[in-house]
Structure 1
């Protein structure tokens, strides 16, 4: 690949884009052995008499987030250099482009895909809020797609600009997605991001922004006072319950708007898939299912996303043999729904139901061992299959929580075995 030069330890390979304030390059980090995106600031803008301080604040915000936010749906910031002569930010490279291309009437995503993306954004922005970060510039252009079609939010360091006229003139911020409280220059909370994500949903579902005006003052007046067309008026196949979620998220009155990301995300998760014939279960539903299980009560949201990335979600009919005694194996299973019977030499030893696991002894022993019993699906079952090799790829904290969960399972089973033995002895 042709090289454009070097920037410190990074090899610049391609210009990805250029704006009024910066140029973004694709580069290679030879130490971490990965591609990165580097945003190089146009240094002279910091001396701009009107906007220099605001640009500096945005730059400082981004630099302060180096290594701070680690979430599967947030673009990571790896490195930053802020100097008098040069400034740049080194970020995770996300190759699939932005959601902007799906924000036009002729190129809309399926409804369930929009729901899935917005649910993941809720989780990411909830995590950001927990770490003291409010985005303030949520829009399709700041939502990037990975090569395999997942979503990541970028520009987490976007500065809050209270002067809306300057925002428009200098192309910083996005008035069409701004909350009423932003336009009124009020103190902002996470609810401003909730409003903006609601507008993004509206745009992705219909292809239109809720408000349209010929100039900025008229647009501001509409956001503050007008009632937008309902999404179903623009796209009749939108389910009514989804329309209610969108309108609540972008409600002008903060008291009527979602109060927190958890409620917003829960309502999205409750919608499920709209293509009822689809056999696959999307990650939104999978995540919500794991979140409700007591087995995973100590796992963080990020750790649950880790598990979904390495686990294999399976649905098996009744009487399927999932594990056979004396065969060699080291994978283990989490029962999501249904029940299995555990037998040895044809004798029933146990029934295991949802929110439990089996096969974990091989993982605990640390090697491939003969199975001590046969496990058969007693009903149609949904299981999450995980191999120790895949589990080893998880973060240390996630593996620790798995070990703790398995210890609780073993303790419960020993207690049950003691109770049975006591009853037999009596």
Structure 2
């Protein structure tokens, strides 16, 4: 990767933090940049930067290079450690798709269609590079001033060999595909599932699986007892309903690929596809009314019901690959688990739960 000298970086205010480290705003080569401090990095993660720097797409955040000697910043001593490095990338502001989804204003249909196409375009590009994102969610979709979104946070991106892959999965529970939660091998179709959840969330503008704690989501999706409820989508935009169902098909073999999603959204040019044509048939007022009804309906806790085709529940088999989930069955109440609800998880070792009830309310899932 291109090596950036420590003295060439000016570190400014912190933008965010997580289990990986911290992200700061900075200056480099007379431009604003985002500087991601990666703590306790593995050599494989450093080597992966080469692939990420080579990615060039209008809807992916550009990565400029790597600073191996991480500059100190407030709260972190100068001897940060040789296992910490910085990724210097394009600065796109701090607004994310999460801010828009949680906002008071309903997402306009033109923005919904544009963002759907842009996410699809970016994910097709990653797929063509044999890469899996593995943590697609609204928080990782930035919205610069022009509202043309960019996917970010490639810390979980891994190479895909063209067949289903057994590897640890670092993602967020609410966006994980069933096969991932079951500890099975998975492919780019796991990213397609995450995309489907984001589509649903953009339409409803409510959190997926509202009122469900992360441990409950893990087990209920794994058992097929929890899915996103079917939306009462107007018949004249039936392709939207079909798109949601095919992205959220529990059978990953039947799930759409990104190329199939793109073909359903566009024929020759963006916005000339089936969905674009159908959305043009409803007025903006009708669109807002439908979205308002969905949002009000799912503003409170709800019981999810299976609306996809009935599937048999397969037994969970142990995967010989590494696992990142850690768990503990405790006699305490479930309050502790609530604090982990929005944290990031990887894969559960279901074999360790062989003698445990699926319905234990006191399961505590620990962050890796």
Q: TM-score, structure 2 length as denominator?
A: 0.61
Distance 1:65 1:79, change over 3 A: same
Q: Give 2:24's aligned residue.
A: 25
Q: For 2:276, which of 272, 279, 292 is the aligned residue?
A: 272
Name the count of aligned residue pairs. 251
Distance 1:238 1:135, change over 3 A: farther
Q: For 2:89, which of 84, 91, 95 is the aligned residue?
A: 91
Alignment partners' CA distance in 1, 2:236 and 2:225? 22
Contact kept? 1:230, 1:243, Cα under 8 Å: no
Q: For 1:121, which of 119, 122, 144 is the aligned residue?
A: 119
Q: How does 1:247-262 map to 2 (within 5 A)?
A: 247-258=245-256, 260-262=257-259
Q: Give 1:56's aligned residue.
A: 42
Alignment partners' CA distance in 2, 1:184 and 1:174? 14
Alignment partners' CA distance in 1, 2:154 and 2:236? 30
Alignment partners' CA distance in 2, 1:159 and 1:78? 17
Distance 1:213 1:80, change over 3 A: same
SS in 2 for 1:239: helix
Q: For 1:185, which of 168, 183, 186 is the aligned residue?
A: 183
Q: How far 1:82 moved relative to its partner?
A: 4.1
Q: How does 1:149-298 map to 2 (within 5 A)?
A: 149-158=147-156, 173-212=171-210, 214-224=212-222, 225-226=224-225, 228-233=227-232, 239-258=237-256, 260-269=257-266, 270=273, 271-272=275-276, 274-275=279-280
Q: Give 2:67's aligned residue.
A: 81
Q: Give 2:348's aligned residue.
A: none
Q: Does 1:137 align with 2:141?
A: no
Q: Give 2:33's aligned residue.
A: 36
SS in 2 for 1:192: helix
SS in 2 for 1:272: helix
More strand by share: 1
Alignment partners' CA distance in 2, 1:62 and 1:238? 45
Report 1 or 2 for greater relative contact order, CA contacts < 8 Å, sequence distance ≥ 6: 2
Distance 1:107 1:177, change over 3 A: farther
Contact kept? 1:39, 1:90, Cα under 8 Å: yes
Q: Give 2:106's aligned residue.
A: 108
Q: How far 1:209 moved relative to its partner?
A: 4.1
Contact kept? 1:65, 1:157, Cα under 8 Å: no
Q: Give 2:56's aligned residue.
A: 70
SS in 2 for 1:89: strand
Distance 1:203 1:120, change over 3 A: same
Contact kept? 2:193, 2:248, Cα under 8 Å: yes
Q: How far 1:148 moved relative to its partner?
A: 0.8
Q: Which runs of 5+ in 1 are unaligned?
A: 1-5, 47-54, 165-171, 279-426
SS in 2 for 1:201: helix
The structure with the largest alpha-carbon Rg is 1
More helix by share: 1
Alignment partners' CA distance in 2, 1:237 and 1:11? 54
Q: How far 1:176 moved relative to its partner?
A: 0.3
Q: Give 1:13's aligned residue.
A: 12
Alignment partners' CA distance in 1, 2:10 and 2:235? 48
SS in 2 for 1:103: helix
Alignment partners' CA distance in 1, 2:236 and 2:149? 22
* 1:339-373 CA distance string (max 9 Å, x none): xxxxxxxxxxxxxxxxxxxxxxxxxxxxxxxxxxx
Distance 1:178 1:85, change over 3 A: closer
Contact kept? 1:16, 1:26, Cα under 8 Å: yes
Contact kept? 2:132, 2:157, Cα under 8 Å: no
Distance 1:231 1:56, change over 3 A: farther
SS in 2 for 1:248: helix
Tell me how large the CA RMSD over aligned residues is. 3.0
Distance 1:101 1:277, change over 3 A: same
Alignment partners' CA distance in 2, 1:24 and 1:113? 28
